[in-house]
Amino acid sequence: MSLDSYTKLLLHNDSFPFIDETGKIITNVDTTLDTVNKKFGLGSAAFNGTTSYLHLADSDDWYFGTGDFTIDFWVRFNSLTNSQFFAGQVREILSPSVGVWGLAKGSNADGNKLSLNFSKGNSPFLINVGSYAMTNNWIDCTINTQYHLCFERVGTSAKIFINGISQALTETVAFGTNDVTNLGLELYIGKRLDVSTALDASVDELRVSKGIARWTENFNPPASAYGSIISPFPSHLRIS
């Protein structure tokens, strides 16, 4: 079964070097193939919590405009101590005075809350155009456990799901009708380069979908890998 038109990035992480099913080039820094702590297929991407990350060139596919989007993946944490960055468009020299977007987990001390934040512009004209975080602590978050995480814009608001369960969110700034703007930045996965939020986890089936909120109510997490690939995993075993 082929990928649908909404899919703009899909990493099965079944082989090394890592391949995007939509054909984008991935630059890898110290991320390794984990053939043990995988969810589906033959492997997952292992981030070491210090130096490892993936990045891809800027693309219109990372510009969501005023539309819906879905970013989902499976993650298995090795540590929960620090805040951890999943994915987003960031500058190599990151500053709170410049526009970025990102998906992250807070530190264990702060309840491991998941968050989604978008800003645009440059200081002194920086504008937050969408900022959401879990209201309650992620109390059962633990290491060495597979979780399906999903971050979405749904119309004028946002949703975050853990294993298909919608989380109560605190809305600092609503998406509303805001255009999240075209930032013209690379997409980073697993690390923001100048802050200590490196991901210490294995990640499988990372998908970026533009123009669609794939889930708007509680759902059963995917039971198999997405899409199609010629090798090394048979296409008839993948789903959209």
Structure tokens at 83: 């805040």
Answer for the pair 69, 153: CB distance below 8 angstroms, yes or no: yes
What pLDDT is recorded for position 199?
A: 97
Q: How far is Cα of residue 50 from the mean position of the Cα atoms in its chain?
A: 18
| Separation of alpha carbons 114 and 106, rounded Å | 6
CA distances from 79 to 101, 128, 132, 160 (A): 24, 30, 23, 21
Residue 73 has pLDDT above 60, yes or no: yes
Residue with tokens 């984008």: 24
What pLDDT is recorded for position 115?
A: 97
Residue 236 has pLDDT above 50, yes or no: no
| Separation of alpha carbons 104 and 22, rounded Å | 24
CA distances from 16 to 83, 104, 106, 115 (A): 27, 25, 29, 30
What pLDDT is recorded for position 194?
A: 66
Question: What are the tens digits of pLDDT across the range 26-52?
Answer: 999 999 999 999 999 999 999 999 999
Answer for the pair 163, 146: CB distance below 8 angstroms, yes or no: no
Of 39 and 228, which is predicted with more confidence? 39
Q: Outline where DSSP puts E strands in the chain.
A: 7-11, 27-29, 32-34, 44-48, 53-56, 69-77, 84-89, 101-105, 114-120, 127-134, 146-154, 157-162, 165-166, 169-173, 187-189, 200-210
Please report which confidence band the pLDDT of residue 124 belongs to, taking 50, 70 and 90 as the band edges.
Answer: low
What pLDDT is recorded for position 179?
A: 95
Total-model pTM: 0.91
What pLDDT is recorded for position 122?
A: 73
| Separation of alpha carbons 207 and 201, rounded Å | 17
Average model confidence (pLDDT) across the chain: 90
Q: For the purposes of burial, counting CB atoms within 10 Å of the CB of 100, is it exposed (0-12), middle (13-18) or buried (19 or more)? A: buried
What pLDDT is recorded for position 39?
A: 96
What pLDDT is recorded for position 3?
A: 86
What pLDDT is recorded for position 13?
A: 97
Go through the domains of the chain in sequence order and give each one's CATH number. Answer: 7-237 (2.60.120.200)
